[in-house]
Amino acid sequence: MLQRLAAPRGFRRHFAAFLLVNIALTATNIAMGAPWWAFWPLAVWGVPLVVHYLIYKTSTIDDAWVEERTSELHGKSYDFSHIADIQRKPTPDGRKSTVDDPPA
């Protein structure tokens, strides 16, 4: 069952059905002029849709994605030596920080 939930086609179908049904319900609600009752099907169906999306997205993570994301974050990082300098400065009570190594 999780394989079906993780398939891109399965999520796209679920999302399309969600959109079509809720557009129709909202249009009906607007045409009737009643209080906005179409919110409840939207909200109730939205929760399983979000869970389905999270299952789908977590199933697409592989080693290549992890490496790509790691290198992207590493490229955005900058020199952390200023953090080590701050950690080596005396604390307000006069003691030095115990951390001497800069973050990796």
Whole-number percent of the chain with pLDDT over 70: 65
Decide: 29 and 38 in contact? Cβ < 8 Å.
yes
CA distances to 24, 26, 52 from 32, in Å: 12, 10, 32
Rounded CA separation 55/58 (Å) = 5
67-92 pLDDT, tens digit per residue, is 888 888 777 766 666 666 666 666 66
Q: What is the pTM of this model?
A: 0.57
Task: Write the DSSP symbol of residue 62.
Answer: -
Decide: 5 and 56 in contact? Cβ < 8 Å.
yes
More confidently predicted of 59 and 86 = 59
